[in-house]
Amino acid sequence: MNQAQAAALTVALAAAFAAQAAQAQSVSISAPATATHAAAPFSDAEMLSAKSPMPKVQHLPASAFDFNAAVAEAQGRGVAENKAGKRPTASAEGLMVRRQISAAALAAARAAGAGAAADDEVTPQAVGTGGIHFTSTRTYPRAQDWSYPSSTVGKLFFRDQAGYSYICSGAMIKPGVVATAGHCVHSGKPGGWYNSFVFVPGYSRVGSTETRPFGTWSNWVNVRTSSSWANGGGTVPNVGDWALIVFGTNASGYRIGDYTGTMGYQYPAMIGRHVSVLGYPANLDSGTQMHRVESMANNGGSNNGVYGSDMTGGSSGGPVVLNFRQDYAGLTGSTQDNGAVRLVSNVSWGYTNPAVQVQGGSQFNSTWGSMLSATCSAYAWAC
Angle of helix 366-378 versus helix 3-24 axis, rounded to 10: 110
Residue 274 within any structural domain of the chain: yes
pTM of the model as a whole: 0.90
Biggest CA pair distance of the chain:
76
Residue 149: asked if its preceding bond is cis (omega within 30°), the reply is yes
Nearest-angstrom CA–CA distance, 259 and 214: 7
> 343 with 319: CB under 8 angstroms?
yes
Contact 220, 208 (CB under 8 A): no
Could you tell me if residue 79 is inside a domain?
yes
pLDDT of residue 37: 58
61 upstream amide cis, omega within 30 of 0: no
Please check whether residue 1 lies inside any domain of the structure: no
Going by C-alpha positions, the residue among 59, 13, 63, 10 that lies closest to residue 301 is 63
Number of domains in the chain: 1
What's the CA gap between 47 and 212, in Å, rounded?
Answer: 14
List, for residues 302-317, the tens digit of each pLDDT value: 999 999 999 999 999 9
Mean pLDDT of the chain: 88
Number of neighbours of residue 76 by Cβ within 10 angstroms: 8
Q: Are strands 153-159 and 304-308 parallel, antiparallel or unpaired?
A: unpaired
User: What pLDDT shows up at residue 334?
Assistant: 64
Answer whether residue 17 is part of any domain. no
pLDDT band at residue 328 using 50, 70 and 90 as cut-offs: confident
Residue 232: give the domain boundaries: 24-382
Q: Is 147 a domain residue?
A: yes
Strand duo 342-346 + 264-267: pairing: parallel
Given a cut of 70, whether residue 120 has pLDDT beyond it is no
Compare 45 and 129 and report the one with higher pLDDT: 45
Residue 9 Cα to chain centre, angstroms: 38
User: Is it the case that residue 19 has pLDDT exceeding 50?
Assistant: no
Residue 77's pLDDT band (cuts 50, 70, 90): confident
- Residue 60 confidence (pLDDT) above 80: yes
Dump pLDDT digits (tens) for 190-240.
999 999 999 999 999 999 999 999 999 999 999 999 999 999 999 999 999
- What pLDDT sits at residue 114? 54
pLDDT digits 0-9 by tens, 24-59: 799 999 988 654 457 778 999 999 999 999 999 988
d(CA 259, CA 344): 22
Contact 18, 10 (CB under 8 A): no
Residue 303 lies in a domain: yes
Whether residue 294 is contained in a domain is answered as yes
Nearest to 361 by CA among 287, 282, 286, 271: 271
Report the pLDDT averaged over residues 255-273.
97
Give a yes or no: residue 93 inside a domain.
yes
